[in-house]
Amino acid sequence: MQPFDGAFAQAFQLMVSADPALMQIVGLSLQVSLSAVVIACAIGMPLGAALAVLRFPGRRVISLFVSAAMGLPPVVVGLALYMAFSQAGPLAVLDLLYTPAAMIVAQTVLVTPIVAALTRSAVAGLMEEFDETLRALRASRGQRIATLLWEARPALLTAALAGLGRAFAEVGAVMIVGGNINHVTRVMTTSIALETSKGALELALALGIILLILSLAINAAAMGLRPRPLGLAYAK
Amino acid sequence: MPNRSRVIPFPGVEAELPPILRVEGLGLSRGGRRVLDEVELSLPPYGITVLMGPNGAGKSLLLRCMAGLVEPDRGAVFTALGAAPAALVFQSPVLLNRSVAGNLRHALRLARIPRRARAERLDDLLMLAGLGDQATAPARTLSGGEQQRLAIVRALAAAPKLLLLDEPTSSLDPAATAEIERLIARTADDGVKVVLVTHDRAQAERMAEDVAFLHGGQVREHGAARSFFGQPASAEARAYLEGRLFV
Ligand SMILES: Nc1ncnc2c1ncn2[C@@H]1O[C@H](COP(=O)(O)OP(=O)(O)OP(=O)(O)O)[C@@H](O)[C@H]1O
Ligand SMILES: [Mg+2]
């Protein structure tokens, strides 16, 4: 166990000394994943609410695809975007390959279906409960959607967190479209993969621990935001 | 052709006033069954009309049709309500996951009450419901009776001329029932037409000016309360009042 103990000690050393290389990687990770989640929420929440509330042709098919897309393998998304962004690809003009922007796009594609599907199911459930009441109170369609989204806010928070978890954890997509270039597109998960494959466990461990701490901190903050449950099993 | 000539006599004193709401030849099918069938009903413009009838008679669906929430398959509902539509309080009202005042503020917003008038209206409604002290309490922590009062004043937020109440006291104790009845009576005194669905004969006798009896999706009789309870015209109403009506 000797090398592991050493690795732990060095990992804590890196963290305590706020090692610049480490901080850069953590900073880029946060920037990429948080941007992706914000964009995914901006697209996914209205989309999910619309799928729950509006009746239009193709609604069920779209819902099915959105649900299915929750399980998209990151490497497949990475590959598809790589082909789109590469020189021969249709999006080559954007010149995004191997940039943080490409990584944000990739994670947005991965996170949006999660946010949309969780929003849809939460709003659909509330709709069963509230829709007739809201119509009896003469709410317009827009007012009904707004009320349902507001009533669904604990579930929306959960959806955003689930999306953030997915974004933080995935390696495949950012690795392929970002290229894991030092100081440019290297994030926590891609560094861990690289350092581990090189046998440099201390940086990998430090990053792993930071990833866990960040995840805990974000979820704890979210828990503080959540309204206290009333402890009522019925809603009469 | 369905028979449309059946005339339901209009109850007593207000006979000369035009009805506030008229249901004509109303038919509605649900689950492959006709649950409302050629319903004819005219509501006098004032006072409390009680709607009675056994479970499954179609009372709740008829209220939904009157409120315009359900489109009938046949026939129509005519109202003299203009821009102020009927308000409906459901058999089990659903309150938003907000405070008591939050629920009322939301309803005032939906009713398009101008912003500067809302605070005063809110206070009025809280007073009317007797919930002034609980304005900041989460609505879902209220007792059943308090929730029912909140649901009623929430429906009054839009200042409706017609209030439809679906069994508002069915799960309440006598004291809570009395409070709801006071609230309903006050609302009717303020000039709001009230339709009250109830299975409680004593309540119906206390509250009703006129009674309509619904059975098998049809209005079997509609008349002044006194004559309905004294001498029901239909055999079904008699059986219902005596507790021997089985559907
Ligand atoms: N969505 C639906 N699908 C099938 N049947 C329905 C539906 N809604 C109502 N019904 C039927 O319509 C009939 C009338 O229902 P309604 O709720 O109006 O009865 P009610 O007179 O209010 O009874 P209660 O006194 O028990 O409240 C019932 O037999 C009910 O089963
Ligand atoms: Mg009913």
Residue A229 lies in a domain: no
The stretch A71-94 carries a mean pLDDT of: 94
- Give the domain range for residue A209: 21-223
Q: In A, residues 98-157, which contact B (CB 8 Å cutoff)?
A: 129-130, 132-139, 143, 147, 151
Res. B110 pLDDT band, cuts 50 70 90: very high
Ligand 2 center–CA B106 separation, angstroms:
26
Does the pLDDT of residue B80 top 90, yes or no? no
Q: From chain B, pick out residues whose CB is under 8 angstroms from the CB of A147.
A: 96, 106
CA dist A144 and B119 (Å) reads 23
Q: How many CA atoms does the CB half-sphere of A2 hold within 13 Å?
A: 0
pLDDT of res. A37: 97
| ipTM associated with this complex | 0.85
Chain B residues in contact with chain A using a Cβ-Cβ cutoff of 8 Å: 67, 69, 85, 87-88, 90, 92-97, 106-107, 109-111, 138, 140-141, 144, 147, 154-155, 157-158
| pLDDT tens track for B124-174 | 999 999 999 999 999 999 999 999 999 999 999 999 999 999 999 998 999
Residue A235 lies in a domain: no
State the virtual CA torsion across B217, B221, B224, B228 in degrees, nearest 10: -100
Does the pLDDT of residue A153 top 80, yes or no? yes
Radius of gyration (Cα) for chain B, nearest Å? 18
Does the pLDDT of residue B6 top 70, yes or no? no
Pick the range with the lowest mean pLDDT from A210-224, B35-49, B66-80.
A210-224
Q: Which residues contact A141 (CB under 8 A, 6 or more apart)?
A: A53, A54
Question: Between chains, do A147 and B154 touch, taking CB under 8 Å as contact?
Answer: no
Contact (Cβ atoms closer than 8 angstroms) between residue A81 and residue A105: yes
Ligand 1 center–CA A137 separation, angstroms:
22
Residue A203 lies in a domain: yes
Residue A234 lies in a domain: no
For ligand 1, whether the C-beta of B55 sits within 6 Å is yes
Predicted TM-score (pTM) of this structure: 0.81
The total domain count for chain A is 1
- Residue B111 is given by DSSP the state T
Residue A8 lies in a domain: no
pLDDT of res. B9: 44
pLDDT of res. B8: 41
Mutate to test the interface with B, among A138, A147, A148, A150 (most CBs of B within 10 A): A138
CB pairs under 8 A between A and B: 47
Q: From chain A, pick out residues whose CB is under 8 angstroms from the CB of B157.
A: 137
Tell me the CA distances in angstroms from B127 to A161, A216, B101, B150, B156, one per residue in order.
42, 46, 11, 11, 13
The stretch B49-78 carries a mean pLDDT of: 95
Residue A207 lies in a domain: yes
Which of A130, A136, A235 minimises the CB distance to B88? Answer: A136
Contact (Cβ atoms closer than 8 angstroms) between residue A150 and residue A51: no
Question: Between chains, do B154 and A143 touch, taking CB under 8 Å as contact?
Answer: no
Q: What is the CATH number of the domain that holds A204?
A: 1.10.3720.10
Contact (Cβ atoms closer than 8 angstroms) between residue B32 and residue B194: no
CA dist B40 and B62 (Å) reads 11
pLDDT of res. B14: 45
pLDDT of res. B125: 97
Chain mean pLDDT for chain A: 90
% of chain A at pLDDT higher than 90 = 69
Residue A232 lies in a domain: no
Res. A231 pLDDT band, cuts 50 70 90: low
Residue A116 lies in a domain: yes
Does the pLDDT of residue A233 top 70, yes or no? no
Nearest CA in chain A to B107: A137
Question: Between chains, do B141 and A147 touch, taking CB under 8 Å as contact?
Answer: no
| pLDDT tens track for B86-101 | 999 998 889 999 999 9
Q: Which residues contact A62 (CB under 8 A, 6 or more apart)?
A: A51
